[in-house]
Structure 1
Amino acid sequence: MSIPILWEDPFSIKQSSLFIPIYFSSLDEDEKLTVKECLKVFGINMEFSNPLFDYARFLRILNICQLEIKVYEWMCLKLNILNLYDFDLRTTPLITLPFKLFLESGAILHEFGLYNSEFLRFELEIFHSLEQNVQFYSRLQHLSLDIISNFGIENIAKLLRVLAKNTTKIIALRLEVCTYAELIHTLPPALIHFIKSQEQLRKFILNDRNNCPTEFYSIISASESQKDTLQEVILDGCAFSAKFEVLNNCKNLETLRILDCDMKLLKILDYNISTLEISYYQINVPITVQIFRKDWHITTTIKN
């Protein structure tokens, strides 16, 4: 019983990276050869042993960024160096092949974080595996997506369409957006469809890191479908858009956190929430006075 528990979240920060070769040893023979050749470029000689268990199938929490960090740390340990400055696209198989292994091993994820990654290749084979192994994401409850142009907006949209077919139990959805205006218009339809497919979304986080066009905020309209379940919304770096008014229809919304956003958002949000957190470089006094008159628990932070 303890073995599955220990391997549910191996990529957490507190874990050592010494376990990485176990996943490499679980690959098929052709994939092992690919890994071996990849590591040889960096001066690492890899010998594979037979794992005692099918460890990959125990995985429940996967963050692609943390996967990359653990592979990087393990390579540094093998080379007895502090930093591997040429950790580049040549290491792509060291990330993509373990991800494919997790997909095909029977693992059932509860949390998945897909962040800006140059090393994870979402090629046709990966999407085919996603479609064939729906158990991998069928019980997802927490999903984080870093929507950034060099990852591939088309890949994100395609992934969302795949997930929407079999993933309906998301509790918390986090979107971090940093992309270019000419690419972003292709994504809202897929995001809206995905959000509407959920049955119990309780927490929604939108982090706009690059002043994306306000048209992108049309995805907020999908929160109407979650008006009975949504309890917490966090907006970070968002510009003003009247589209956020739809949040007033979320009758069970308890907590709203507005972090470094356009303060005019507060003028259109009129729902009787219990907790409001505001963090900004400069507080708009008239708007602040207006919201203090409401019966909310308010936390404000003014940054220097």
Structure 2
Amino acid sequence: MACSKVLLGNLPELTDDIIQYFRDDIPTLRSCILVNKFWCQIAIPLLWKDPFSMKNPKNFHFIEIYLQKINEKDKAQLSRCGISNNVFPTKTLFNYSNFIKCINTRNIYSIIVNWIEANKMFTCSKGRIFLLLIKIFIENEAKLHTFEIEIAYKYLESRKYFNSIFKLILQNPKFISKLKNLKLHFNEDIVKYKFDYKYLKCFYYHCNLISSLHVRFSGYKSFKHNHIILSQIINSQRNLEKIIFAHVKYINEHTLPFSSDIIPFYNIIGDSNSSKPLKVIIFYRINFRNILHIKEAFEQLNVLESIHILECLIFNSNFIQQIIDLNKPFKLISLFIKDEHDLFMSDENRNLQIVLLMQLLFQNFGEYLENIGFSSNVKDVLKYRALEFINNYCKRIKFFDIYTTSIQKTHIALDSINIFGQNLNYLSIYVLIPHNEKDESTIEMFLRLAHVLPCKLEYLNLYFNTQIRKNIWDVFLKNLKHISIKKLLFRIINLFDDILPYIKEYIMKEKRVEYLAIEGYIEIQVSTYIIHKYKSELFNMTDELKEFESYNIKVKEYNDLYIKAHEFIDEMY
């Protein structure tokens, strides 16, 4: 009876909650619109909240649906560019322009480029279409929830339209008045071309509900030149709970400027208001030698719940000593360590210095740590000393990401996994096995891996760089039968025929996983005597896909299931 009421719309609040649960599940939402009119009215706004972020859309008709709303004068201008009225639908069931909630400037620009390229007769400026779309959203009273602004060099040709867009937004502040998430990308090329970032003032004049701010920059000069405006945005917000500072590329200490590009961190997040509700700060690929006044900045944050340091340079400055000297807890929840070199110090002395700093770090903050990872180029001598400290001081590890360079080193990582116990919920382990390794050693390692894994995992990603014999897959997967895994990923150099029979027997038939991704190899005979190996995915094997789906196992592409640490931390905290 209750189910019938939900279907008929007699329990509107419950129905709305159910459909909202699927807000990011596009196939399910498309099915919902077919149930009845009531379900359709709930699902359609969710489907149209961010159409520009769709991966590999089949077509770009949604642009034409939006442009159907422009006035006759604008239609006449587009007609002169080859975009006739016949392109636009004559009638639509909904005012789709009102449903837009998320805008990413790069995504919109890319979609417009693809739309124009797909219609060879269109000669209209990309910037002109961009401006018209924003104008339509504003005129139809859309209110953004998320705004991501990314300006790259290729957008300079549309600079006048970009400035016109933000002038239009300044004149129509209701468009951004409900903004919750703001993402800004400061590009180094834009600094060279003296691009005007004054448009950012619309966010501290007209937005006061921002709860999450993501600042991404491709060079320290671009960040330095705009930190005053950034500080104004931060200090104008009274609901700001999360800030992310991210550098676009992998930072290289040798190529970074020092004294000329230092950034006063206290000036960016600090003001006289000590009641700032900031709870989460994430640093991604930041060189802390370029950051000043760290201690002063953190001293004024009274409700900070978590700090996350991901692939940053932290051992090249007095950063660790500054956070140790704090008069309040420094709740370091995530630490992903990258390799750090120093041109002015021998490797031996540098390693000794880093080990001492690591020990101080884990002694003082290990009790808070939940997420630990190492980049692939971290030296073994540092990685395994760090694991010693982690085993001694960290009792709450939930996420663990590590590269190992031998069977022996893998056993050291497995010691840590065993210590983490049932707390561990996400594991990525990359095992580099020498080609001459004996089968007995490999089997022993695989059996131990199966033994130390917790009985329930949200995510398990396994990467092996050498061919694993069929009998080893058989032994390993048979011993995984006691473990329930939501998302299981393999990246292997084996042929699918080597592993699939055992995956089916011990994983598929036992229904041990919900999602599965395997990246491996297939053989294709190109001539009578020549067979080539090609990389492929289980996702691309249609018949196999159907068999797994019959057991309610969703097969995905490897990269779609693969968890990037910085995205995981952003989503979880």
Partner residue, 2:207: 167
Asked whether 1:281 is paired with 2:339, we answer yes
Aligned to 1:135, what secondary structure does the other structure show?
A: helix
Q: Quick one: which amino acid aligns to residue 27 of structure 1?
A: I
Q: List per-residue Cα deviations over 1:244-275 (Å, max 9, x = no partner).
A: 22124323222222223221333322433151
Partner residue, 2:61: 18
Aligned to 2:330, what secondary structure does the other structure show?
A: coil
| TM superposition shift of 1:199 | 0.8
Moved more, 147-156 or 127-136: 147-156
Q: Quick one: which amino acid aligns to residue 237 of structure 1?
A: R
Partner residue, 2:374: 301
Q: Quick one: which amino acid aligns to residue 177 of structure 2?
A: S
Contact map agreement 1:106 1:133 (CA 8 A) in 2: no
**1:93-242 pair list within 5 angstroms:** 93-117=128-152, 118=155, 119=158, 121-122=160-161, 125-151=164-190, 155-156=196-197, 158-179=198-219, 181=221, 186-209=225-248, 211=256, 213-215=261-263, 217=265, 219-222=267-270, 225=273, 228-239=276-287, 240=289, 241-242=291-292
Alignment gaps of 5+ in structure 1: 80-86
Alignment gaps of 5+ in structure 2: 1-40, 250-255, 341-350, 378-573
For 1:277 and 1:184, locate their aligned partners in 2 and report how far apart those are by CA, in whole Å.
Answer: 23
Q: List per-residue Cα deviations over 1:214-261 (Å, max 9, x = no partner).
A: 136455343774764222211123222232221243232222222232
Contact map agreement 1:25 1:49 (CA 8 A) in 2: yes
Q: Cα distance 1:179–1:136, how it changes in 2: closer, same or farther (>3 A)?
A: same
Aligned to 2:151, what secondary structure does the other structure show?
A: coil
| TM superposition shift of 1:165 | 1.6
For 1:266 and 1:113, locate their aligned partners in 2 and report how far apart those are by CA, in whole Å.
Answer: 32
For 1:227 and 1:276, locate their aligned partners in 2 and report how far apart those are by CA, in whole Å.
Answer: 25
Q: 1:59 aligns with which of 86, 93, 100?
A: 100
Q: Quick one: which amino acid aligns to residue 291 of structure 1?
A: L
For 1:37 and 1:150, locate their aligned partners in 2 and report how far apart those are by CA, in whole Å.
Answer: 34
For 2:47 and 2:159, locate their aligned partners in 1 and report how far apart those are by CA, in whole Å.
Answer: 25
| TM superposition shift of 1:56 | 1.5
For 2:86 and 2:219, locate their aligned partners in 1 and report how far apart those are by CA, in whole Å.
Answer: 38
Q: List per-residue Cα deviations over 1:180-219 (Å, max 9, x = no partner).
A: 74x7655222211111010111111112347572136455
For 1:61 and 1:226, locate their aligned partners in 2 and report how far apart those are by CA, in whole Å.
Answer: 31
For 1:268 and 1:38, locate their aligned partners in 2 and report how far apart those are by CA, in whole Å.
Answer: 60
Q: Quick one: which amino acid aligns to residue 98 of structure 1?
A: L
| TM superposition shift of 1:151 | 4.6
Contact map agreement 1:228 1:250 (CA 8 A) in 2: yes
| TM superposition shift of 1:146 | 0.9
Q: 1:266 aligns with which of 320, 323, 328?
A: 320
Q: Cα distance 1:91–1:179, how it changes in 2: closer, same or farther (>3 A)?
A: same
Contact map agreement 2:285 2:310 (CA 8 A) in 1: yes
Higher relative contact order (CA 8 A, sep 6+): 1
Q: Which TM-score applies when normalising by structure 1?
A: 0.81
Q: Quick one: which amino acid aligns to residue 356 of structure 2?
A: P
Q: Which TM-score applies when normalising by structure 2?
A: 0.46
Contact map agreement 2:188 2:217 (CA 8 A) in 1: no
Q: List per-residue Cα deviations over 1:80-101 (Å, max 9, x = no partner).
A: xxxxxxx999422122221232
For 1:257 and 1:223, locate their aligned partners in 2 and report how far apart those are by CA, in whole Å.
Answer: 22
Indicate the structure (1 or 2) with the bigger Cα radius of gyration: 2
RMSD over aligned CA atoms reads 3.2
| TM superposition shift of 1:122 | 4.8
For 1:227 and 1:301, locate their aligned partners in 2 and report how far apart those are by CA, in whole Å.
Answer: 35
Give identity over the alignment, percent: 22
Contact map agreement 1:184 1:216 (CA 8 A) in 2: no
Aligned to 2:61, what secondary structure does the other structure show?
A: coil
Q: 1:244 aligns with which of 294, 298, 306?
A: 294
**1:24-103 pair list within 5 angstroms:** 24-38=67-81, 47-52=87-92, 53-78=94-119, 90-103=125-138
Q: Quick one: which amino acid aligns to residue 174 of structure 1?
A: H
| TM superposition shift of 1:76 | 4.6
Contact map agreement 2:131 2:162 (CA 8 A) in 1: no
| TM superposition shift of 1:30 | 3.0
